[in-house]
Amino acid sequence: MASELTSFRLYRVATAMELLGLSRTVIYELIRSGRLRSVKEGRTRLVPASAIADYITLLEREAGA
């Protein structure tokens, strides 16, 4: 997965779903709640690679707490 995160800087929601192993509904709920950052380009919702890495770090931090 690390090599995938460095190959692109922005991911469509479907790719973010695959990378994180989460459903579309969960991804959009994370975006709405602010736990996963995203941007819009035209009508397309994109998730930055840095946002995916930050979300994983957040999960690790919460698991350790």
Position 6 confidence tier, pLDDT thresholds 50, 70, 90: low
Give the domain CATH number at 46.
1.10.1660
Where in the sequence is the domain holding 39, given as residue range(s)?
2-64
Q: Total structural domains in the chain?
A: 1
Q: What beta strand segments (E) does the chain contain? A: 10-12, 39-41, 44-48
d(CA 47, CA 31): 9
Burial (CB count <10 Å: 0-12, 13-18, 19+), residue 15: middle
d(CA 2, CA 36): 18
What's this model's pTM, rounded to 2 decimal places? 0.84
Position 5 confidence tier, pLDDT thresholds 50, 70, 90: low
